[in-house]
Chain A
Amino acid sequence: AQSVTQLGSHVSVSEGALVLLRCNYSSSVPPYLFWYVQYPNQGLQLLLKYTTGATLVKGINGFEAEFKKSETSFHLTKPSAHMSDAAEYFCAVSDHSGGYQKVTFGTGTKLQVIP
């Protein structure tokens, strides 16, 4: 069974500082990895995803994530935080081992950006 662990339910950074949100996964088959963002009173939207190919994935709003198979990690980073980045971030893993896609979400990390 696949699973996702997000370290830190709340992360605070100063505006302009590096954002690092951690995600570790467990999957018995090659995983497909996602980061989603949720702004208040909205649904989740895709930030970026890794399926195959280059392990460094760039997404929207200046975010990127690196797939590290040896560490089973897919951490999300952004060099300089903006106030508008304050939101909740979800890491997710999916596989097709059963013939169709099954997605498992992490518990989420709320990012606070301090002016």
Chain B
Amino acid sequence: KAGVTQTPRYLIKTRGQQVTLSCSPISGHRSVSWYQQTPGQGLQFLFEYFSETQRNKGNFPGRFSGRQFSNSRSEMNVSTLELGDSALYLCASNPDYPGTVGETQYFGPGTRLLVL
């Protein structure tokens, strides 16, 4: 099976712009989570989607949003970019089989966003 793919891999934007990042989970995986990783704050949870519904959300401002499509692919959007949004954005998927516990998160390589 192909792994989790994220596009684009690298992105440069300027303050005030908006950006959309894409994540394609492993085939058959229904849960997709997004994380922001920075040197100062480490790995921070943004949100998780399952069956096109946001199921869990971290402590990020409303400028950060996401969605999931019927094929489980997910996008996240950041509006009105700030310098502090420069980070590696990671996407992870897992099957979320009913009744299964302790499932592994499978991570993509990330999208590195630089805001100038």
- Chain A residues in the interface with B (C-beta under 8 A): 32, 34, 36, 41-46, 49-52, 90, 92, 94, 96, 100-105, 107-108
Q: How many A-B residue pairs have CB under 8 A?
A: 61
A-B contacts, 9 of them at CB < 8 A, read A36-B107, A41-B110, A43-B4, A44-B107, A100-B31, A101-B94, A102-B56, A104-B45, A105-B43
- For A99, the closest partner residue in chain B by CB is B55
Query: Which residues does chain A contribute within 8 Å of B92, judged by CB atoms?
Result: 43-44
Contact A107 to B105, CB < 8 A, known contacts A43-B4, A44-B90, A101-B94: no
Interface of B is mostly: strand
Contact call B101/A100, Cβ cutoff below 8 A: no
Closest residue of B by beta carbon distance from A92: B105
Are B104 and A46 closer than 8 Å at their CB atoms? yes
Q: Which residues of B contact A43 (CB under 8 A)?
A: 4, 90, 92, 107-110
Which listed residue (A52, A101, A104, A107) contacts B103, Cβ 8 A? A101
Q: A43-B90, A105-B45, A108-B43 are in contact. Are A51 and B107 (CB under 8 A)?
A: no
Complex contact A96–B101 (CB within 8 A): yes
**What is the minimal beta-carbon distance from B59 to any residue of chain A, in angstroms?**
13
